[in-house]
Every structure is written in C-alpha cells, then in structure tokens.
Amino acid sequence: MPDFRRARLALCALAVLSIAACQKKEEPKPQPRAVTAATVSMAALPMTVDASGTIAAWQEIPVGSEAGGYEAVQVLVDEGSYVRQGQLLVKLNDRLLRAQLASAQATVNQTAAALSRARELNAKGYLAKAALDTAVANAATAQAGLAEARARLDQTNIRAPVSGQITARSVVKGQIVTAGAELFRLVRQGQIELNAQVPQAQLALLRPGMTAAVTGDQQPPTTGSVRLITPQVDPQTRLGLARITLPPGSGYRPGDFARASINVGSQPALVVPQSAVVFRVNQSGVYVIGADNHVRFTPVTTGLRQGGLVAVTGLRPGQKVVVSGAGFLAENALVKVSAEPAPATTGASAR
C-alpha cells in the first residue's frame, strides 16, 4: 500500500476518534437534597383511650305484686317519675282484705276475752289446766291470723323497693294484677352508665376512677367516671367493656349511643415532629434516613399530638427521620442533613 494511502487512513481514524470523544459526555452525579432531621425517641405523653357503646341502667329492678287477683284502683306514677324508697306506686282493691282483717280482729278480741276468763277460773280452781292451755292456744292462733290479715292487706299497697327513676310501666288502672307480674321497671337511684367497648390491647391502661369525657349525638357533653372494667373479652370482636358512670341529670337515657374519651394519664410513646409525617398513596409515613444517606418511606400510625410532636407506631427509637423537606422527596433519594439530628422531646421528660 502506498504511503499516502496509509497516511490517509490514519488521519480518518484520528478524525473518528476525535468525533467520538467530543460526543461522549460524562453523566452528572446526583446531587443530595439538603434536609433537616430528628431522632425518633420515647417521651411521656398524656394519652386517652377512645371508645363507644350503649347507655344502660346501673341496676334495673322489676317491680311486681306479691298479691294476685286484685284490681288496680290507683296508679300513682308514670314513666320518667323519680320515686323514693317506700313510696306508694299502685293501690289495689282491698275491700275484701279489709273485711277479713276486721273478722280477724274480732276473733282476737273474742279469744282474748275467753283467755282472761279461763285464767280467772283456773286461779280459783274451777278450770282445769288443759282448758286453760286451749284458751292460750286459741288466743295465739287468733293473733297469728290477725298478723296474716294485716300482711295481706299491706300487699295491696305496691311500693318502690328502692329510690330511683321509673323507666317502664306496664300496669293501668282497672287491670286485674297477677301475682309476680312485672308492673314497673325501676333504675336504682336513677344511675345510668355507658358500656364502652374498648379494644383488648387498651384494656390494660384503664383503671377504676379514671375520668372520661362522654359525648352523644343529641345530648350535651358530660364527664363520667370509670366504675369497673369487665374481666372478660369478647372472643369474636376482641373488645372488652369499661362501665362509665354518668352524673345525674346528664340527659342520657338507657339505649342511647355515646362516645367516651378516657384519660389514662401519661404513657410512654415514640414521638417524631409532626412535620416529619407525610402522605404517600393515602398512607401516612416518614422518610427514614439510612446509613448511606438514602431515604426510605416507612408507613406509620399516628396518635396523640402535642407541642408539635406526634406519637407514632412502626418505628424504632434512635432512627433518623427527615423533617424539613420531607414533602419533596422520592423513594431512595439522596439527602444531606444540614444540621445534627435533634431528639424529638416534649416538655415532659423523655424516656
């Protein structure tokens, strides 16, 4: 090959290499985004347990009649009435029993007179001891009959067994009352309570005496007190009951629906700044900073908010989360923390 052809090929090769070198560009390195961060920490926060349920009577007592077959001639109270223990509620027809009482009283008088004569005669020696014993027994029997007649007459007066509020009435004037049939339903002392359903995991936080803010759809807010926590949990729903006593005059009635927020005091919780929590695809979460300064979106469940902090579950103490700039990040983004991570704390001592 002639020298000029070799020179020409060499020049062409150099030209190609020069063009390729000019066209090749170095890819830019990703620039980290400047953010601030905080450290996930434990803090004592005042916490509440939210629950809901149905209003029920503390103790609901059925009121009936011991006597049967008598007409109700007076019904003196109605539903909603507040009654005192011993107050007359219903009066039954007692004409027959009054006549029986009068007869029993007459028998007592007769036997008492006979006993008095028998004792006089026995003292003078004109009456045998056996006859005197018979007179004594007759007098005692008459007294027992009188006591029975009085008791049966008193059964025509149906009285309140305890003080409280009448919540139901099933007797009307003119009705023939059956022995043992329920005539009224009475709430002892008018006291009602909310049977609040509480998740199993939160039952351990509750104690008798804790205060609860109770609200309903129609009634004004009121404050109740936890009376007791039932010892069993529903195996299907995993819910237990906290019975919350409501104050008199709260406006609630048995059967009403209500909600309660029970103050369980300060409890340890994981906290992060509220601004660290962002939403991605309808899921709340935070961006956790890894050892290589790349971030990972971690879903969390939020709880109580106080002083710019929020209680969360789904994280571990000591993890670093993005605070400022979290809303502009994408998964696996590279970040540069512009300041040293600060622990998330409240006014209460952190734990």
**Domains in the chain, please, with CATH?**
33-46+268-343 (2.40.420.20), 50-59+189-267 (2.40.30.170), 60-93+161-188 (2.40.50.100), 94-155 (1.10.287)
What pLDDT, on the 0 to 100 scale, is given for residue 348? 40
pLDDT digits (tens, 9 = 90+) for 61-120: 999 999 999 999 999 999 989 999 999 999 999 999 999 999 999 999 999 999 999 999
pLDDT digits (tens, 9 = 90+) for 235-255: 999 999 999 999 988 888 888
pLDDT digits (tens, 9 = 90+) for 194-222: 999 999 888 988 999 999 999 998 888 99
Instruction: Choose among 282, 309, 314, 311: nearest CA to 298.
Output: 314
What pLDDT, on the 0 to 100 scale, is given for residue 350? 35
Average pLDDT over residues 163-184: 93
pLDDT band at 306; cut points 50, 70, 90:
confident
Residue 340 DSSP code: -
Full-model pTM? 0.60
Report d(CA 226, CA 239) in Å as an integer: 16
Q: Is pLDDT at 13 greater than 60 in this prediction?
A: no
What pLDDT, on the 0 to 100 scale, is given for residue 95? 95
Q: Which residues of 171-203 are buried (b: 16+ CB within 10 A; e: fewer)?
A: beeebebeeeeebbbbbbebbbbbbbbbeeebb
